[in-house]
Structure 1
Amino acid sequence: SPTAGVRKKKGTFWVLVSPLSVPPLSCLPDRLRERLLPFQKEGIRFALQRDGRCMIADEMGLGKTIQAIAVAYIFREEWPMLIVVPSSLKYPWIEELEKWIPELRPEDITVIENKADVGNLSSCKVTILGYGLLTSDAKTLIDSLHKQRFRVVLVDESHYMKSRNASRSKLLLPIVQKATRALLLTGTPALGRPEELFMQIDALFPRRFGTWTDYAKKYCNAHVRYFGNRTQWDYRGASNLDELHQRLSSIMIRRLKDEVLTQLPPKIRQRISFDLSKDVAKEMNSSLEEWEKLMRFPDSGGSESSSPFIQVMGLITRMYKQTALAKAGAVKDYIKMMLENEKLKFLVFAHHLSMLQACTEAVIESKVRYIRIDGSVPSAERIHLVHQFQNEPDVRVAVLSIQAAGQGLTFTAATHVVFAELYWDPGHIKQQFRAHPLPYCQRDPGHAHVGDAESKVPTWM
């Protein structure tokens, strides 16, 4: 009943949590509250009933970020807040924070760019930190993080903490443990591999599941292996999974798309922003200045034999190529992050060969099977590759040229689409959604990810 409370077992955590003590969602900003879907409100209440310490493990695309922001907002009087994310998600998080929390000003948010970049920590309400900076040689940064005493900590893609021996796991663990409120967000909680869950559980609730040795023996089927005269403990197994999952249900909420399908829109579009390096930004700003000059003085940019139209189109083509090179590294990181979810099957669209190659390299480096269709692939072979993607579960990525794979091919096995680039003709993008109708009625809604550079580059780039 609404007033009965939630009883939690003594010894394995178990306290009485009264729903009456949960703050009402009416305190959220109007725009944020009105955007929340019913299952997202349920996730927020789940976190609030646990005093803001839990794991939100919803499947990718179900809005873990907006749920975390809502919970963090309710505890805003306890900020400063630390948000730990993969490098490719730093700027999307800034966009989401500014979208849903209108009172946050740009100067309230700082992004730590390097291991010595700690000057703004004490003056900002929100600090965003990439996992890549959590290394054993980052003493200045780690000391500053501990000194700041973040009372609210959000850890996105928390499965990055799965290794007990990784520096980032060891460095992040005490920061999460000391926080008053801590949310771990992951779409891939590794429920079948208990070894990878321990650090995340221990970050939220130290020793709740015992020491590592206790946990490993009970849930990882820990046993000794013999290699000649040498012995080694093997923790890669699984045991007592029903009990583990039952205990996890008190600290983790997980919903799959199939379970909330009726609440979801047919397609979900998400823009992924990233920062440009100083050198690249300088080069692109130079091109923009040339563009602005050409717009003001059409006859100033070329020889007498070249028309203003040819000059403009030449500059547009050059700038379009520049954006591909500028985004390639960030796109690779994002694709690798998506591949952390071993069940995800998705398409990646690009236009320039340099971007197609960067996307291909990301998949190869992740040791995942893929197909690639560009202008060099004969028509007959394209049909074979599509069949391969559609019917072989371990072929998880299709790297596709926007023009070469724009019509006549169907990829209904995919649930996500990544546009590494947008073609300058919007009709081509609409064509992709018509040509590749992502399944949603019986299975999942489509989820489109669009890469975008945080710079002064025109939107049609």
Structure 2
Amino acid sequence: LKKERDYLKEINEGLIEAEFFDEGEAWKPQSITDSITLPIYTMLPFIQWCKEHRDICMMEWAEGSKIKYYPGISSSAAHISFKSKNNWYEVEGDIEIREGQVISLQKLLGLMHQSAHQKYILIGDNEFITISTQLSRILKRLDTVTTENRSHLQIAPAAVSLLGDLLDDTSLDIKRNETMDALRQRIEACSKKIPVVPKTLQAQLRDYQEEGFEWMSRLTAWGAGVCLADDMGLGKTIQTITLLLEQSENGASLIVAPASVVPNWRNELQRFAPTLNFTILNQSEDRSKDIKEAKAGDVIITTYGLLNIQQDDLTGREWNVVCLDEAHTIKNANTKMSKSAMLLNAQRKVILTGTPIQNHLAELWNLFQFINPGLLGSAEQFKKKFILPIEGDNDKARQSQLRRLISPFLLRRTKAEVIDELPAKNEIKLPVELSSEEMAMYEVKRRETETKILENKADKVSTLAEITHLRQMACSCSLVDKKWKLPSSKVLAFIDLAESLNDSGNRALVFSQFTSFFEEVRKAMDKAKLPYLYLDGSTPMSMREKLVKEFQSGKCPFFLISLKAGGLGLNLTGANYVIHLDPWWNPAIEQQATDRAYRIGQKQDVTVYRLISQHTIEEKILRLHKTKRNLSDSLLEGSDISHALTQEELLELLQDNR
């Protein structure tokens, strides 16, 4: 009996070694027929342990179920070769499982994805291998940087920088490539470069702005494209202007921006870089000539709309630096605007955006396809490798892998990280209780929409239209029913707040996504004799500038701005209050709007009010905001990310949780 107890003690030590038990735990069989079930990642090392302890263990296999197990395959078993082809690099290789048996690198990477535990890999029927920690690290690195192309793996030029010391690993049998080695040497040399802020810059950069310029300069020097994704208001424009000045002798540069942002580029170039000669293409008398004759020291500024119209001219020449401002404008790969942008030819590509992803992960692919083509594979490869696992299965390993892949080329700093002196920002949710009449009408519409979804009587487009109606009714029932005559509870709540702010001498930006709701708000403000300025998408560019100057001068206490028209390119630090009349699906869009006031130059504390109608879809949208931010923090460290709403999520939005 003592000998059996000693044997059992050793077996438990083997189970601990196989990581089935923690230290101090043990298997305590009550009879000779007792058994335990081991998961595969524990069973395999335990089988190996049993083979090494045949004096106390005997293994029996059911007929046809014997497992073949090849443990401890190290990096010395790997044979890898690189070769250049059409500005790409092909990777081939194999791993020797045992003498006379090899498995291709491409197949092994695929099998790793299918294995629940990547250390123990199923390579055939009841046939497993265990790879060493070092080989696992090498394979994961290759999996991150490669994409499949039929019969082989390939690496985009930008991804070469992510190979690190892998190519110098002496334990590997590597056949190197001269072209790739030359690029690696160039990358290493550029990483040691110490960029100097041009003396012609008429500004004193903050430390983080100088770091941003240096980062862009080093990466673009070896041909990589970059995404500067700092918070709104941290000076992405001046960091880019510094790069334009540094590179001004290397050719003409191009800036593409929304029409609303063009005046800001004009003003900052005049102020900070007077030695650069800029032309606003929209104001040019001969666009083709100006584009063709642009030379070193010249900067052409154009809108996304003109990018389509002047596509042949703009894409028919090489640029020194091409910068896409508010680059999420090309987030949809299928638009003509995006396709035109992809044709631009430049030595250096820069994109600026405070929100690299606004709605779903596919948008990130399109932005990176512009700055570093092929880094994320094709759209279909990206979907298979990242979108489906991350958005569908919340795959943390894939999230981490994607973050490693994009992080060298994406720089994002938040205000909290870099600015100590920025005043406080207070956010307040202001609940609005709808009247019984409003709630009754809302409830009828909610039930109708819920029934349509449950009975599959509405497609996705019509369902979203119905949900938009619910969001409008949470603002005012008159937006959906033109016969509605009763006052809007939300308008009344806003007027109370506005009168209080006005009486206290405060000034506020007021945002809504519904211009039709603003019509009702404006009537109420006129009646209450509350002065205001108003801006929406139909406001001409010249008038926008006048309105901004008037508000900044302190002549008017309220500035009503449609969310999409005024979320970009406006500096409105004259306001110390921001009021969101209705929540947008994407919290990053709201944040952009808030940042019109909460930015560098703001001297006062800023208070943000969100008017939320109780027991309506607006409360559900706020909950979605939290989900989106959590996922974005895990992937892009601050940029917003979400996914398309499923039918279940749409139903969740419509549920009555009173």
TM norm structure 1: 0.54
The CA deviation string for residues 241-263 of structure 1, in whole angstroms up to 9 with x for no partner, is 23212221111001122222315
Secondary structure (helix, strand or coil) at the match of 2:300 reads strand
Offset, 1:213? 1.7
Aligned twin of 1:74: 246
Is 1:133 equivalent to 2:306 in the alignment? yes
Contact 2:365 2:379 in 1 (8 A): yes
Contact 1:220 1:237 in 2 (8 A): no
Offset, 1:218? 0.9
Contact 2:531 2:557 in 1 (8 A): no
Which of residues 343, 349, 369 in structure 2 aligns to 1:174?
343
TM norm structure 2: 0.39
Contact 2:197 2:210 in 1 (8 A): no
Secondary structure (helix, strand or coil) at the match of 2:269 reads helix
Distance 1:44 1:192 in 2: 28
Amino acid at match of 1:74: E
Specify every segment of 5 or more residues in structure 1 that has no aligned partner in the other structure, as ranges. Answer: 1-6, 224-234, 268-363, 408-417, 450-461
Contact 1:222 1:236 in 2 (8 A): yes
**Structure 1 residues 170, 70: closer, same or farther in 2, change over 3 A?**
same
**Structure 1 residues 114, 436: closer, same or farther in 2, change over 3 A?**
same
Is 1:384 equivalent to 2:499 in the alignment? no
Which of residues 206, 227, 230 in structure 2 aligns to 1:37?
206
Aligned twin of 1:111: 281
Offset, 1:448? 7.8
Secondary structure (helix, strand or coil) at the match of 1:208 reads coil
Distance 2:399 2:549 in 1: 45
**Structure 1 residues 236, 62: closer, same or farther in 2, change over 3 A?**
farther
Offset, 1:203? 1.2
Is 1:446 equivalent to 2:600 in the alignment? no
Amino acid at match of 2:402: L
Is 1:22 equivalent to 2:193 in the alignment? yes
Taking CA–CA contacts closer than 8 Å with sequence separation of 6 or more, which of the two structures ends up with the larger relative contact order? Answer: 1
The CA deviation string for residues 158-179 of structure 1, in whole angstroms up to 9 with x for no partner, is 111111111111111121xx31
The CA deviation string for residues 75-98 of structure 1, in whole angstroms up to 9 with x for no partner, is 111221111111222222122112
Amino acid at match of 2:420: T
Distance 1:142 1:265 in 2: 44
Amino acid at match of 1:180: Q
Aligned twin of 2:638: none
Contact 1:58 1:253 in 2 (8 A): yes
Which of residues 382, 391, 407 in structure 2 aligns to 1:249?
407
**Structure 1 residues 380, 197: closer, same or farther in 2, change over 3 A?**
closer
Contact 1:82 1:150 in 2 (8 A): yes
Distance 2:286 2:389 in 1: 41
Contact 2:320 2:347 in 1 (8 A): yes
Aligned twin of 2:385: 218
1:126-165 equivalence runs, <5 A: 126-135=299-308, 138=309, 141-165=310-334
Distance 1:434 1:119 in 2: 41
Aligned twin of 1:188: 355
Contact 1:13 1:208 in 2 (8 A): no
Offset, 1:150? 1.1
Aligned twin of 2:564: none
The CA deviation string for residues 440-460 of structure 1, in whole angstroms up to 9 with x for no partner, is xxx9893489xxxxxxxxxxx
Aligned twin of 1:97: 269
Aligned twin of 1:199: 366
Contact 1:265 1:445 in 2 (8 A): no
Amino acid at match of 2:196: L
The CA deviation string for residues 158-206 of structure 1, in whole angstroms up to 9 with x for no partner, is 111111111111111121xx31111100111117722011111011111
Which of residues 61, 65, 72 in structure 1 aligns to 2:237?
65
Aligned twin of 1:301: none
Which of residues 258, 262, 270 in structure 1 aligns to 2:416?
258
Distance 1:184 1:133 in 2: 18
Offset, 1:149? 1.4
Contact 1:257 1:444 in 2 (8 A): no
Aligned twin of 1:13: 160
Offset, 1:104? 2.6
Contact 2:257 2:302 in 1 (8 A): yes
Distance 2:392 2:260 in 1: 29
Secondary structure (helix, strand or coil) at the match of 1:13 reads helix
Offset, 1:385? 2.4
Distance 1:435 1:191 in 2: 26
Secondary structure (helix, strand or coil) at the match of 1:25 reads coil
**Structure 1 residues 381, 91: closer, same or farther in 2, change over 3 A?**
closer
Contact 1:58 1:186 in 2 (8 A): yes
The CA deviation string for residues 390-440 of structure 1, in whole angstroms up to 9 with x for no partner, is 9xxx97798776995579xxxxxxxxxx9946659955447998984579x
Is 1:123 equivalent to 2:293 in the alignment? yes
Contact 2:574 2:597 in 1 (8 A): no
Distance 2:369 2:552 in 1: 50
Secondary structure (helix, strand or coil) at the match of 1:187 reads coil
Which of residues 248, 252, 255 in structure 2 aligns to 1:83?
255
Contact 1:56 1:183 in 2 (8 A): yes
Distance 1:260 1:207 in 2: 32
Offset, 1:212? 1.8
Distance 2:400 2:575 in 1: 43
Amino acid at match of 2:287: D
Aligned twin of 1:209: 376
Contact 1:264 1:445 in 2 (8 A): no
**Structure 1 residues 435, 258: closer, same or farther in 2, change over 3 A?**
closer
Contact 1:115 1:133 in 2 (8 A): no
1:392-431 equivalence runs, <5 A: 404-405=529-530, 420=547, 428-429=555-556
**Structure 1 residues 42, 257: closer, same or farther in 2, change over 3 A?**
same
Amino acid at match of 1:27: P
Contact 2:257 2:303 in 1 (8 A): yes
Offset, 1:147? 2.8
Secondary structure (helix, strand or coil) at the match of 1:183 reads strand
Q: Say what the alpha-carbon RMSD is for the aligned residues.
A: 4.7
Specify every segment of 5 or more residues in structure 2 that has no aligned partner in the other structure, as ranges. Answer: 1-140, 146-154, 162-183, 426-467, 477-485, 502-510, 533-544, 560-572, 580-593, 601-658
